[in-house]
Amino acid sequence: MVKEQGSNISSGQKARISLARAAYRNSDVYLLDDCLRSLDIHVQEYVFKECLQRFMTGKICIFVTQNNNFFYKADGILWIENGVVQMKSRGVINAEKQHVKEPVMEEKCDVTLGDYDEADESTKLLDSKQKPNVYCEEKKSGKVEKAVYKKYIKLGGGYFLGVFIILFFIVTHTCKSYSEKMVSNWVNLEENISLYKHENIKISDDLMTRYNFTLILYSCLILGTVVLSVITATLLFNFTRTASNRLQNLMVRSIMGALMYFHDVTPIGSIINRFSKDLTVIDEQLPFVVYDFLEILFSFCGVVILLACVNLLFLIPVSVIIIIMYLMRKIYIPIGRNLQRMDVSSRSPMIGYLNASLEGLTTIRAFRVEDLLTKEFDRHQDLYTSANYTSKCCARAFGYFLDLWCSIFIATIVARFVFLDHDITVGEIGLAITQAYTLTGFVQYGIRQWAEIENKMTSVERALEYTKAEQERNDMGILSSLNWPIKGKIQFVDVSLRYCSTDSYLLKNLNFTINPAEKIGIVGRTGAGKSTLITTLFRLYDHEGEIRIDDMDIKYLQLKTIRQKITIIPQEPVLFTGTIRDNLDPFGDYDDHEIWSAIEKAGLRSAESGSNITSLEITIDDAKLSSAQKQLLSIARAVLLKNKIVIFDELTANMDEVTEKLVTDVVKENFKSCTLLVVAHKLETIVGLDKVMVLEHGAIVEYNTPAMLLEEKNGVFYNMVKSSGLLK
């Protein structure tokens, strides 16, 4: 199963999959944009012969390439130079050798299935078990654990602050409930005063004193309730905001410090969903749900006390309605919780698929498979909307039945006053009916919010999962000197690597030494382990054995130290949005003179590079830069860092001969005293190095100087060089 963005396959495998996809279309015209550049020479020869020459016989194939070896196998040549296109036949090219360097070979090297062991990869693909859909996300089941609630409370400020906020709620609603009791007393006093006036009875001073005191106390209680409500809301929302901020910071630190394996197996859509949908729920919805629930809970307690003050028998229907609604909640919660989990988890595949579709939009349009991809997206969208709609329908149905039972409860209270209680005061009747009506709203909405809390806490649960990602070991290392490494010596001692304990080894028992300032070329077929070997130097994955740099085992060095002191220039250069200064010196460690010096040394002001940088404040437009210019900017950055160990991954894979020579000369001139590791498929870039390492299936099959390896007529490197046409 190919994972998102092909993270589990090599660049060569990606290229062959893309070519196979194009070939499967069985079109009349094929446009191939240097699709073989990521393959080693054996695989290039085999794919060109079997696919382009044999399978595409009788079809128009326009093949863009930097490799001169393929020119002599084409029916026609479009030679582009300085914007001028000339049509030249193969015979003309052979005659005019000043334009193209003709390869000279001892003998024709016919590449067969024996030379390229593609059967091995095919067997691996056939034997591999069917993996789950790459966009699927694991869903939890059951109730949200208490540990999730405890962690959320701790993130918000701890139990003490939580209890303090609860006390404020209690005091606030005590004032609120007592103010409503004062309204009942006020109504009774007004009734007595009206009766006295109607009967022409003198109103006593005691009655007026109680009347005035009730009004003053009621006013004070209302004012106190307002002030306390504002303070309580401020405390609670600050509590939830703090919890949300800390949770987000934990997630960011965890994701940024997670092992590379975590990013290999986690779809980007899932990560985006946690930081968008789940954090939106935690930031914007959960605080209001918690506030509403606590507000209703303590209001409910106050209402029950007020009803008990009117008549203790009212506690019977109150108890019945509470039991019924609790049972309804118990039925609804498992369903609503799982629907909520399904809602948020089904959103990740949709986001991941949409992200992948946007990244591959050019390919989708080129193959005219918009309808197919639209149907696939509709399937993800239907799954998400069905889960979302079902979740909302379930919540509405739950609310409907709560409303039904609340209506029955109100009818019971009113019926009691109509048929049974005739000696109760008007104020108490009004208080009981208004509180009963309020109670039903509180119970109905409170039960719903109680259920909603657990639904929303699933987002906290999902966010907390990303705070537990296994971290790179960063705190255990020792801090080496600022000038480490001084020499740049590298030693591998019994180094093996696999991504997890159940996987097969990608690197197998590697033992070699690279002396200071040596220039080492690393070659091998696609998937041989070249890039994996490089990752071990940066400790992107845990390895077995020892890797020593200047006699220090990197397992015991801080990650920051290792990664700052080793420079890598990848095949696809990384440029940031910003100015040239931002790209070359993002941390502001160097002055203008040093930056300009690095630019000069990298050849970025020469005519050959096509660049003429006049200011460090020029904004870089990635789309307008050639691959060579991007590489030269990366080289300028490496020159500025002055590290003793520099790694080049497919440095000149996407360049023509002129640009390749320019970049190669820049590298030779500026990194003479550095230890260089050059990963390459183009053997021209490594035959002049001090030593060559040949990898095959994660093991070193040859490691020596190029001259010594070329003396081995049956050696792997000899056959690779012979196939490339470099032997005379």
pLDDT at 127: 44
What token pair was written down for 608?
């050959």
pLDDT at 470: 85
pLDDT at 291: 93
What is the arithmetic mean of pLDDT over 70-90?
70
Q: Name the packing angle between helices 426-465 and 205-256 (round to 10°).
A: 10
DSSP conformational letter for 554: G
pLDDT at 664: 81
* Residues 705/691, Cβ–Cβ less than 8 Å: yes
Dihedral sign, CA of 24, 29, 31, 32?
Answer: positive
DSSP conformational letter for 281: I
Which of 724, 726, 706, 721 lies closest to 518, judged by CA? 706
Q: How far apart are the first and last CA of the chain?
A: 43
What is the rounded CA–CA span in Å between residue 631 and residue 637? 10
pLDDT at 343: 81
Rounded to the nearest angstrom, the gap between the alpha carbon of residue 595 and the centroid of all alpha carbons in its chain is 33
Beta carbons within 10 angstroms of residue 319's beta carbon: 11
pLDDT at 96: 44
pLDDT at 119 over 50: no
What token pair was written down for 136?
């699927």
What is the arithmetic mean of pLDDT over 124-140?
50
Share of the chain above pLDDT 70, in %: 80
pLDDT at 136: 54
What is the rounded CA–CA span in Å between residue 357 and residue 368? 13
Residue whose token pair is 């067997």: 123
What is the rounded CA–CA span in Å between residue 719 and residue 714? 7
Residues near 205 by beta carbon (within 8 Å), at least 6 away in sequence? none
What is the arithmetic mean of pLDDT over 129-155?
71
* Residues 519/687, Cβ–Cβ less than 8 Å: no
- The pLDDT tens digits for 376-428 are 888 888 888 888 888 888 888 887 887 788 777 777 777 776 666 556 666 56
Structure-derived torsion over alpha carbons of residues 296, 301, 306, 311, reported in degrees to the nearest 10: 120
pLDDT at 153 over 90: yes
pLDDT at 249: 94
- The pLDDT tens digits for 682-696 are 777 787 889 999 998
Question: Which range is most confident: 88-92, 95-99, 233-237, 466-470?
Answer: 233-237
- The pLDDT tens digits for 347-373 are 778 877 887 888 788 888 888 888 888
Residue whose token pair is 């080289």: 635
Q: How confident is the model at residue 37 (pLDDT cuts 50, 70, 90)?
A: confident
What token pair was written down for 92?
């003309």
Give φ, ψ of 141 to 5 degrees: -135, 165
Q: How confident is the model at residue 8 (pLDDT cuts 50, 70, 90)?
A: low
What is the rounded CA–CA span in Å between residue 584 and residue 640? 8
Q: Which stretch of 61-65, 491-495, 498-502 has the lowest confidence by average pLDDT?
A: 498-502
- The pLDDT tens digits for 513-529 are 999 999 999 988 777 88
- The pLDDT tens digits for 462-477 are 899 999 888 887 655 5
Which of 298, 340, 344 lies closest to 451, judged by CA? 340
Dihedral sign, CA of 318, 324, 326, 328?
Answer: negative
What is the rounded CA–CA span in Å between residue 166 and residue 187? 32
What is the rounded CA–CA span in Å between residue 209 and residue 723? 112
What is the rounded CA–CA span in Å between residue 543 and residue 343? 39
pLDDT at 92: 45
Q: Which stretch of 14-23, 123-132, 705-714 has the lowest confidence by average pLDDT?
A: 123-132
DSSP conformational letter for 76: -
What is the arithmetic mean of pLDDT over 637-654?
84
- The residue ranking higher by pLDDT, 566 or 658, is 566
Q: How confident is the model at residue 248 (pLDDT cuts 50, 70, 90)?
A: very high
pLDDT at 149: 92
Share of the chain above pLDDT 90, in %: 17
pLDDT at 2: 64
Beta bridge partners of 476: none
Q: How confident is the model at residue 312 (pLDDT cuts 50, 70, 90)?
A: confident
Q: Which stretch of 223-232, 335-344, 478-487 has the lowest confidence by average pLDDT?
A: 478-487
What is the arithmetic mean of pLDDT over 280-308?
86
Rounded to the nearest angstrom, the gap between the alpha carbon of residue 186 and the centroid of all alpha carbons in its chain is 62
What is the rounded CA–CA span in Å between residue 722 and residue 109? 7
Q: Please provide the average confidence, as pLDDT, over all residues in the chain.
A: 79
Which of 266, 637, 185 lies closest to 465, judged by CA? 266
What is the rounded CA–CA span in Å between residue 397 and residue 693? 69
DSSP conformational letter for 726: -
What is the arithmetic mean of pLDDT over 37-59?
79
What is the rounded CA–CA span in Å between residue 296 and residue 450? 10
What token pair was written down for 56?
């595409």
Q: How confident is the model at residue 5 (pLDDT cuts 50, 70, 90)?
A: low
* Residues 58/86, Cβ–Cβ less than 8 Å: no
pLDDT at 447 over 70: yes
What is the rounded CA–CA span in Å between residue 5 and residue 278? 24
Q: How confident is the model at residue 329 (pLDDT cuts 50, 70, 90)?
A: confident
Question: Which range is most confident: 216-220, 282-286, 331-335?
Answer: 282-286
Beta carbons within 10 angstroms of residue 311's beta carbon: 17
Rounded to the nearest 5 percent, the helix, strand and coil shares of the chain are 60, 10, 30
Q: How confident is the model at residue 118 (pLDDT cuts 50, 70, 90)?
A: very low
Give φ, ψ of 523 to 5 degrees: -130, 165
- Distances in Å between the Cα of 301 and the Cα atoms of 220, 222, 226, 273 are 22, 18, 19, 39
Domains of the chain (ranges, CATH numbers): 4-127 (3.40.50.300), 146-465 (1.20.1560.10), 490-575+642-724 (3.40.50.300)
Dihedral sign, CA of 310, 316, 320, 325?
Answer: positive
- The residue ranking higher by pLDDT, 561 or 482, is 561
What is the rounded CA–CA span in Å between residue 604 and residue 620? 13
What is the arithmetic mean of pLDDT over 21-28?
82
E strand map for 366-426: none
pLDDT at 145 over 70: yes
pLDDT at 482 over 70: no
pLDDT at 235: 94
Residue whose token pair is 């605080």: 287
Which of 76, 16, 80 lies closest to 50, judged by CA? 16
pLDDT at 489: 92
